[in-house]
Chains A and B, each alone.
Chain A
Amino acid sequence: MKAAVLLIPLLPLASFIITGLFGKRFFKEKSHYLSVGAVAVSWLLSMYLIVEVERGEELHWQVYSWIAAGSFKVDIGFLVDQLTAVMLLVVSTVGLMVHVYSIGYMKGDGGYYRFFAYLNLFMFSMFMLILGNNFLMLYVFWEAVGLCSYLLISFWYTKKSAANAGTKAFLVNRVGDFGFGLGIMLIFVTLGTLSYSGVFEAAGTIGTGTMTAICLLLFMGAMGKSAQFPLHVWLPDAMEGPTPVSSLIHAATMVNAGVYMVARSNPLFAESHTAMFVVALVGTFTAIFAASIGLVQNDIKKVLAYSTVSQLGYMFMALGVGAWGAGMFHLIAHGFFKGLLFLCSGSVIHALSGEQDMRKMGGLKNKTKITYWTFVIGALAISGFPGLAGFWSKDSILAGSFNHGYWYFWAVGLIVAFMTAFYMFRLIFMTFHGKPRDEKAFAHAHESPRSMTMPLILLAIPSALIGLALGLPPEDGHIDKFLEPVFEAAGIAPHAFGAVDLGLMALSALVGIGGILLAWQFYVKRPDDLPAKAGARAGFLYKAALNKYWIDEFYFAAVINPVMALGRGLWRWVDMAMIDGFVNGSARFFHGVGMALKPTQSGKIQAYLFSMFLGFLALLVAYLILTV
C-alpha cells in the first residue's frame, strides 16, 4: 500500500518535470504519452487502494519529519481511509478521462506540452491534498492546486480576458485562504498539533466559542475554493480556460477540495452547531442563488459553471445539516456527471469550431450523436431523473435535511432541484433540438474524434449507474456504510428508510421531471414566444439574474476601487517616501561601512599581519577589561 500511496502523486510530478523541461524541444505533439501514461498508472493504483480500503485496510503513515523547530513539529505523512478512497475515485477517474480527452481537444495548440505539464502538476497537487494527514499539508497543496488553477485558467495568456480571469481566481481564493490560514493557526495555537489524528482526538477539549471560530475560518477557505457566495465570482470567469480544465478543476476535483476539507474536519464541525448551521445556510443560499443565474445564461459553459456553484451549495447544505454521507455521495456523483457535462460541452464547442453562445446553436442532435446522448445522460443525472446517479444523491441530501429537522433548507433544495432540471434541459434543447440558428456553423459541425468521445462514454456509465451501485438502499446504502467510520465523531447514524422518505423521494422525482417538462414547453414546443414572454414578465428579476445580480460590479465599487485607491496612496506616501527612504538609507549606510572598511584590505601582507597582531592584543585587552 505504501508504494502505491507514494507513486500516485509522484508519477504525475515526475511527468510534469520531464514534460515541462523537455516537452518543448523533444516531445512536442507527443507530449501526451508520458502525461497520460503517468495518470493512467495513478488511476490503476488508486483503484487498488480503494479495493484495499474496501477490504478494511487503512494506512496511517508518517513519512518524515519536515520541520522540527522546538515545539513546532510538522511531518509529511499520508492517511488513506474511506474518505480518501472516495476522493481518489473521483479525482483519478475524472483526471484520467480529462487527460485522454485533452489529446483531441488541445491538438494543434502551440502550448500542447505546457498544457499536459500543468495538468500533471495539478494531479500531483490534488493527490497530495487528499492523501495528506495533517492540516499543513492540506494548506500547502490547497495553495498548490490554486496555483495550477491560475496557470490553467490563463493558459491562453495572450488573451486579456483569460489573464484577468486567472488573476481574479487567484485573488478571490486568497481572500478565502486568509480565513483558512487563520483557522489553521488557531488550531495550532489551541492544540499544538496540526495532524488530523492529533487534532481530532483533542476536538472535545476546545471551547465552543473557539471551535466555532476555527470552523468558520476554515469554512471561509472552503467558500473561496468551492466558490460559495460571496466568493463564487471567480468560477464563472474561470471558464476562460480550456474546457478540459473547466471539467477537471472547476467541476470535479479542485472545487471539491472545500467540501473534502469540511468533511475531513467533521469532528471539529460536529462540535459547533453554529458553524454547521452557517455552512448549511451558505450552501443552500448559494444553491438557489447560482441556479437562478444559470437559468438565464446564454454561454453554454457559464450555465454549467453556475450549475457547479449551485451543486456545491447542495453538498455544503448536506454537510451542514449533518448528512455527511449524502454530501460525499453527491460529491462523487457530481464529479462524474459534471465532469462529463463539461467535456460534452467542449465537444459541442469543438464541433461548432469555437462557438459557445447557445443562441447560435440548435439542431445538433443528429450531427453529433455520441455527444448528444452522453450529454443527455449527464443532464438526466444532474436533474435527478429517477434511477440515475443524481437522483439518489440529491434525494439523499434532501431527505437528510428534512429528517434532521431543517425543513426550510429542504424546501429551498426542492426548488433548486426544479430549477436545475429546467436550466439543464434548456441547455440541451437549445443546443441540440429545433432548427439551427446559425447556418454557417451548423454546416461545418462534426462529431468529435475518438479520443474525445471515448471519455464521454466512459464517464456516462458511472453517471448513470453509480447511484445504483453506491446509494442503495437509500439512507443506508453502500456509501453510507462505507463512510461510517470517517464520520463516527459526528455521531449521526443513518436511519432506516420509511414512508416519509418514500414520499420525499417521489416529490424529488416529480420536481425533476417537472422541470424537464417545463423546459420542453419553453424551448421545444414554443421556443419563439414563451421564453421571451416569460422574460418580459419577470422583468427586473430577469435582468438581475442575467447580470449575475451585479455582484462583480458591487465588488468593484465597494472593495476593489477603494483598495486600489488606498494602495496608490500608500505607495506614494508610505512606500516611496518612508519605506524606500529607510531601505535605501540603510543600504547606503551598510554600503558606507563597507567602503570605510575597504582600506583595511590594503593588499600589503605586513599590514595584514600587523592588524592580526593588533587583534591578538585587542583580545587580551578585552579580556582584561571584562574581568577587572
Chain B
Amino acid sequence: MTHDLLAIMPELMLIVTAVVVLLVDPLLPEEGRRGLSWLGIFACITAALSTWFARGEEFTAFSNSIALDKYSVFFKILLLGVAALAMLISEKHLHKKQRLLGDYYALILFTTVGMIVMAEAIDLITFFVGLELMALSSYLLAGFFRYEERSIEAAMKYFLTGAFASNILLFGMAFLYGLTGSTNYRDISEAIRLGPVPEGPLVIAIVLVLAGFAFKVSAAPFHNWAPDVYQGSPTPAAAFLSVGPKVAGFAAILKFFTMILGSQSEIWVPLMMALSVATMVVGSTMALVQKDLKRMLAFSSIGHVGYLLLAVVATGDSGSNVGMSAILFYLAAYAFMNMGAFAVLVHLSNNSENFRDSLDEIAGLGKRFPWAAGVMALFMLSLTGVPPTAGFLAKFYLFSAVVDAGFAWLAVVGALFSLVSAFFYLRVIVYMYMREPEESVSEKVDGRSWDLSLGIGLAAAGVVLLGILPAPVLNAAQDAVQKLLGN
C-alpha cells in the first residue's frame, strides 16, 4: 500500500496543495491570495524534484494501473513545468479582472494531476479517471471569468463538445475491454496481437478511440471547439489549456497507438494520415484569416497538432523510436513557445486599459512595448521554425523522422504548410515593427507583474536554450520512448 502511495507522491502533493488552497482561500484577505500562486508553484517544483530524484527506478503501481518509467518522468516534469509557468503568469491578470481566487490555482493543480495520470496510466480505467479530471477542471478554468459572456460561452462549448468526445472515447475503450477481456494496456495489446479478434468491432473501437483523442488534441475535423474556447477563456488559462491537454493527449495517444494498437497499424495509420493532413490544412489556412490574436494562436496550435500527428503516423508505420522522441521534443518546445506567446498577450492585457487581443492592438508594439515586442518576435520566429530557436529543431527532428520512415511526401506537405504558417506568424512581427499604432489603441496603464515577467523570461530562455542545446531534452526523450515499442 505504501509502495503505491509513494509512487504517486507527486500527485498527492499537488492534490493536498490544491485542497489546502481551496480551504484557505476564503479566509485570506485580498493581498494574501497572491501567495497562493507561489504555494502552487512550490508544490509543482517539489513534485518535479521528487520525480527527478526517483527517476532511476521503474515499476508499476496500484495493481498495474500506472507505470513509473522514464516516459512518465519526462511527461511529469514537462507538465509540472507547464503548470508552474501557468500559475506564474496569471496572478496579475486575475487581480485586474477582480477574479483573484485560490480556486484558480486549485483548478490548475487538479488539471495537472489529471494530465499526469493520463500520461502514466497503463489501464483504461485509470486513464479515463485522469482524462476526466483534466477535462472537468479545464472546463471550469475556461469559464473562470464567469461574469463575462465570452468566458461562459467558452466553458459551455468546451464542456459540451468535451463531454461528447469523452463519451465517444469511452465507448471505444469499452469495446476494447469487451473484445479482450482486460483493461490493462499490455494485456489488451497481447490479446489483440495474438487474436483472433473479430475485425468489425475492433475497427469500430479503433475509430471511436481515434475520434475521441482527435477531439482532445483538437485535430480536424474535431477541432471546432478550440478557437472559441481559447478565445473566450481568460488569457492565462488559454495559455495553459492550449498546451497542457495537448501534451497529455499526445502522451496518451503514443501509448495507445503504439503499445495497445501497435499491431493494427494498417488500420489506423491511413486514418491518422488523413486527420493529419486535414488538421494542417485547417490550422494553417484558417489562421491566415483571423484578426483576433488568441483565435490565431488557437488555429496555430491546431496546425502544430497536424505536424505531431504526422510523426505519430511515421512511428506507427515504421515501428521506430525516432519519430516518438521527436514528438516528445516537439511537445516540450511547443510548450515553451506557445505559453510564451500567450503570456505576452497577458502582459499586454495587464498593461492596457482595454486590450482587445486583435492585430490592430499590436500595431507599432515595437515602439510602445519594446521588450514585449522583442520577446513576442522570438516566440513567433520559434513557432514558424526559424533557426536557432527551439521551434526549428523541433520541426527539423520531426520532419527528419517522417522522411526516415518513408513518408517523404508527407514531410513535403508538412513543410509546405509550415511555409504557409510563416505568413501569419511573421505578420505579427510586421505589425509590431512596421506599422504605426492606430488611434483606437488602448491606453497604457501600469500593470507590471514580476511573476509574469519572470514567466515570459523563462519561456523565452527555454525557446533559445532548446534551440542551441537540445541534447539533454532530446536524450531524455529518446530514453523515454525506448520501451514503448515492442510492448
Contacts and interface: CB of A to CB of B under 8 A. Distances in A.
A in complex with B? yes
Interface of A: 64-66, 69-70, 587, 590-591, 593-595, 597-598, 600-601, 603, 605, 607-609, 611-612, 614-616, 618-620, 622-623, 626
A66 B220 CA distance: 35
Contacts of B267: 623
A615 B211 contact: yes
Nearest to A64: B471
A605 B165 CA distance: 13
B343 to A, nearest CB: 21
A164 to B, nearest CB: 26
Contacts of B285: 590-591, 593-594, 597
A626 B289 contact: no
A598 B289 contact: yes
A69 B400 contact: yes
Interface string B155-168: 01100110011001
A597 to B, nearest CB: 5
Contacts of A587: 423
Contacts of B157: 605, 608
B156 A605 contact: yes
A32 to B, nearest CB: 26
Interface string B163-202: 0110010000000000000000000000000000000000
Contact of B207 (A70, A603, A614, A620): A620
B286 A612 contact: no
B408 interface: no
Contacts of A619: 207, 210-211, 271, 274-275
A66 B469 CA distance: 7
B222 A615 contact: yes
A314 B285 CA distance: 61
A509 B203 CA distance: 94
Given A601-B224, A620-B207, A623-B270, 9 more contacts: A66-B468, A69-B400, A593-B285, A601-B228, A605-B157, A605-B160, A605-B161, A611-B224, A612-B164
A619 to B, nearest CB: 5
B211 A612 contact: yes
B396 interface: yes
Contacts of B286: 594, 597-598, 601
Nearest to B468: A66
Given A64-B469, A591-B288, A601 B227 contact: yes
A593 B281 contact: yes
A66 to B, nearest CB: 7
16 contacts: A64-B471, A69-B396, A593-B281, A594-B287, A597-B286, A600-B224, A601-B227, A601-B286, A605-B157, A605-B161, A612-B161, A612-B215, A615-B222, A619-B274, A619-B275, A623-B270
A614 B221 contact: yes
Nearest to B221: A615
A389 to B, nearest CB: 41
Nearest to B469: A64
Contacts of A591: 285, 288-289
Contacts of B469: 64
Nearest to A616: B211
Interface in B349-374: none
Interface of B: 156-157, 160-161, 164-165, 168, 203-204, 207-208, 210-211, 214-215, 220-222, 224-225, 227-228, 267, 270-271, 274-275, 281-282, 284-289, 396, 400, 404, 420, 423, 468-469, 471
Contacts of A607: 224
Nearest to A596: B285
Contacts of A620: 203-204, 207
5 shortest interchain CB distances as A-B pairs:
A608-B224, A594-B285, A615-B221, A594-B289, A593-B285
A396 to B, nearest CB: 43
A612 B167 CA distance: 13
B126 to A, nearest CB: 25
Contacts of A603: 228
Contacts of B423: 587, 590
A69 to B, nearest CB: 6
A273 to B, nearest CB: 40
Given A601-B228, A623-B271, A595 B289 contact: yes
A612 B343 CA distance: 31
Nearest to B284: A590
A618 B270 CA distance: 13
A608 B163 CA distance: 13
Contacts of A65: 471
Nearest to B421: A590
Contacts of A597: 282, 285-286
Contacts of B203: 620, 623
Contacts of A615: 211, 214, 220-222
Contacts of A614: 221
Contacts of B420: 590
Given A616-B208, A619-B210, A626-B270, A608 B161 contact: yes
Residue among A597, A616, A619, A620 facing the most chain B CB atoms (10 A cut-off): A619
B281 A622 contact: no
A608 B160 CA distance: 10
A615 B471 CA distance: 39
A614 B214 CA distance: 13
A553 B224 CA distance: 65
B211 A609 contact: no
B65 to A, nearest CB: 28
A612 B160 contact: no
B149 to A, nearest CB: 12
A612 B157 CA distance: 13
B156 A622 contact: no
A172 B267 CA distance: 59
B222 A612 contact: yes
B404 A70 contact: yes
Contacts of B284: 590
Nearest to A626: B270
Given A66-B468, A601-B286, A609 B404 contact: no
Contacts of A616: 168, 207-208, 211
B411 to A, nearest CB: 13
A12 to B, nearest CB: 18
Contacts of B215: 612
A614 to B, nearest CB: 7
Contacts of A601: 224, 227-228, 286
A603 B154 CA distance: 10
A609 B161 contact: yes
A70 B148 CA distance: 52
A70 B403 CA distance: 11
Nearest to A65: B471
A590 B225 CA distance: 22
A409 B93 CA distance: 76
Contacts of B271: 619, 622-623
Contacts of A66: 468
A609 B215 CA distance: 10
A185 to B, nearest CB: 18
A601 B215 CA distance: 15
B160 A609 contact: yes
A252 to B, nearest CB: 30
Given A605-B156, A605-B157, A594 B221 contact: no
B46 to A, nearest CB: 30
A609 B203 CA distance: 22
A339 to B, nearest CB: 33
Nearest to A621: B207
Nearest to B267: A623
Contacts of B156: 605
Nearest to B270: A626
A619 B404 CA distance: 27
A602 to B, nearest CB: 9
B32 to A, nearest CB: 36
A350 to B, nearest CB: 37
A598 B290 CA distance: 9
A396 B400 CA distance: 53
Contacts of A598: 286, 289
A475 B258 CA distance: 70
